[in-house]
Amino acid sequence: MKLTIITPDKLAYDGEVTALTVPGTTGSFQILKDHAAIVSTLDDGKIIIQNGKDEIVLVIKGGVVEAKDNIITVLAEGIIED
């Protein structure tokens, strides 16, 4: 699947993933290959990006996710840096 994470300031991630976990406003959920089309608002929280055995965790400050035809776009209000 192709994932793009964009904030008002920068392109935070652009690449292939095998799974994505996002903090939906009614609870976190995971998007896998061939997921049904979805648009959802996101709360502040962790986005977990998986590509095989590799895992990247980003903490976002709210936003929206859209997944359709194995293309996932996350529009985040911001990335919280450690």
Where in the sequence is the domain holding 58, given as residue range(s)?
Answer: 2-76
The answer to the question of residue 11 being in a domain is yes
The answer to the question of residue 81 being in a domain is no
Average pLDDT on 33-41 reads 96
Burial 7-39 (b: 16+ CB within 10 A, else e): beeeebbeeebebbbbbeeeeeeebeeebeeee
Helix then strand count (H, E) for the chain reads 0, 9
For the chain, give the mean pLDDT.
Answer: 96
pLDDT band of residue 81 (cuts 50, 70, 90) is confident
The answer to the question of residue 72 being in a domain is yes
**Which residues are CB-neighbours of 81 under 8 A, at least 6 positions away?**
none
pLDDT band of residue 18 (cuts 50, 70, 90) is very high
